[in-house]
């Protein structure tokens, strides 16, 4: 029987767009209490009425930059009792910057990806998991990627951050063995969100080209998978889910539909 998430506190980082926003909507349908953070808190606040309408028991949104260790520690430590007892943590906040050869890339891109995708995930995890261990209850769901399994041209540091996520997730699972906590990595291929727009710093034409001729995964596809993992019975731990568009075998092998007569 699937596990009920009614009134469960679900904390989602990076909930202002894409996978994070869709995951909030999917957990809302389960009647969860949603704790949402991102830097664009205005977007989170604007989502709140729809989330309540969809079934969320309650929503609390706040501004948080996961790269800021003091802010992460301080904000999570001062959550009220009602919100501080987190049942499910979705470490989703993340980004890529650029697709330039490593030896020609801007070092700032690397700092931002490592600080967000690796250090941000660690800071949030370190702040949330001790409470879960104390309460003997909790599920940590991290966003990995097929980029963490195989590197692609220009992907280097982004792929490295997702490979780090994969092994950090495995390590946490080992450290929590013997407790009732569960640890999951969700590793998608191509999902159409703001991801490419962020990667190419607002170059819409270049971002749109990424998804040309393929039916990519949607943020909702990933959200449904996350909620599926979270609603398995307590004795079932989904360790890793790798999911891609049907047209994508791996980061290199992608079948694009072409207009007849053209490549």
Taking the C-alpha atoms of residue 29 and residue 25, their distance in angstroms, rounded to an integer, is 7
Nearest residue to 26 via CA among 34, 252, 82: 34
The stretch among 20-28, 72-80, 141-149, 211-219 that binds ligand 8X3 (CB under 6 A) is 141-149
- C-beta of residue 92 within 8 angstroms of C-beta of residue 14: yes
Decide which of ligand 8X3, ligand NDP, none touches 251; Cβ closer than 5 to 8 Å per partner kind. ligand 8X3
Please list every residue from 51 through 110 that binds ligand NDP, using CB under 6 A.
64-67, 92-95
Examine the residue annotation and report whether 252 is marked as an active-site residue of this protein.
Answer: no
193 binds ligand NDP per the rule CB under 6 A: yes
Binding-site member from 146, 176, 214, 238 for ligand 8X3 (CB under 6 A): 146
Binding-site member from 5, 8, 11, 18 for ligand NDP (CB under 6 A): 18
Paired tokens of 15:
């909930």
- C-beta of residue 241 within 8 angstroms of C-beta of residue 184: yes
Query: Cβ contacts of residue 219 below 8 Å, gap of 6+?
Result: 18, 19, 21, 22, 23, 191, 192, 193
Q: Is 163 helix (H, G, I), strand (E, B) or coil?
A: helix
The DSSP line for 64-88 is --TT-HHHHHHHHHTS-HHHHS-SE
147 binds ligand 8X3 per the rule CB under 6 A: yes
Question: Mask 149-178, x = binds ligand 8X3 (CB under 6 A)?
Answer: ------x-----------------------
Active-site position among 103, 123, 152, 158: 158
The stretch among 69-77, 98-106, 177-185, 194-202 that binds ligand NDP (CB under 6 A) is 194-202
- C-beta of residue 90 within 8 angstroms of C-beta of residue 82: no
Question: Mask 209-238, x = binds ligand NDP (CB under 6 A)?
Answer: ----------x-------------------
Find the helix packing angle between 121-135 and 69-77, rounded to 10°.
20
Decide which of ligand 8X3, ligand NDP, none touches 54; Cβ closer than 5 to 8 Å per partner kind. none
Taking the C-alpha atoms of residue 53 and residue 124, their distance in angstroms, rounded to an integer, is 28
CA 152 to mean position of chain CA atoms: 20
The stretch among 46-54, 106-114, 142-150, 232-240 that binds ligand 8X3 (CB under 6 A) is 142-150
Question: Mask 53-82, x = binds ligand 8X3 (CB under 6 A)?
Answer: ------------------------------
User: Residues interacting with ligand 8X3, by CB under 6 A?
Assistant: 145-147, 155, 189-190, 251
The residues assigned a catalytic role are: 158
């Amino acid at each position: 029987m699937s596990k009920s998430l009614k009134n469960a506190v679900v904390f989602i980082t990076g909930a202002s767009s894409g996978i994070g926003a869709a995951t909030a909507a999917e957990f809302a349908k389960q009647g969860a209490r949603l704790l949402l953070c991102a830097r664009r808190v205005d977007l989170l606040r604007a989502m709140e009425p729809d989330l309540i309408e969809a079934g969320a028991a309650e929503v609390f949104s706040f501004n948080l930059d996961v790269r800021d260790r003091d802010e992460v520690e301080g904000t999570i430590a001062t959550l009220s009792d009602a919100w501080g007892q987190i049942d499910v943590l979705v470490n989703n906040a993340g980004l890529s910057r650029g697709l330039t050869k490593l030896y020609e890339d801007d070092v700032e891109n690397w700092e931002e990806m490592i600080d967000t995708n690796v250090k941000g995930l660690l800071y949030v995890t370190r702040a949330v998991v001790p409470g879960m261990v104390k309460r003997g209850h909790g599920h940590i769901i991290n966003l990995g990627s097929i980029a963490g399994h195989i590197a692609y041209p220009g992907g280097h540091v982004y792929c490295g951050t997702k490979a780090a996520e994969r092994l950090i997730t495995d390590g946490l699972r080992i450290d929590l063995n013997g407790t009732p906590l569960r640890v999951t990595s969700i590793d998608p291929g191509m999902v159409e969100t703001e991801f490419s727009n962020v990667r190419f710093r607002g170059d819409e034409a270049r971002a749109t080209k990424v998804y040309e001729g393929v039916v990519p995964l949607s943020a909702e596809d990933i959200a449904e998978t996350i909620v599926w993992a979270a609603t398995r019975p307590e004795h079932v731990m989904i360790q890793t889910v790798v999911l891609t568009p049907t047209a994508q075998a791996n980061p290199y092998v992608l079948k694009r539909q072409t207009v007849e007569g053209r490549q």
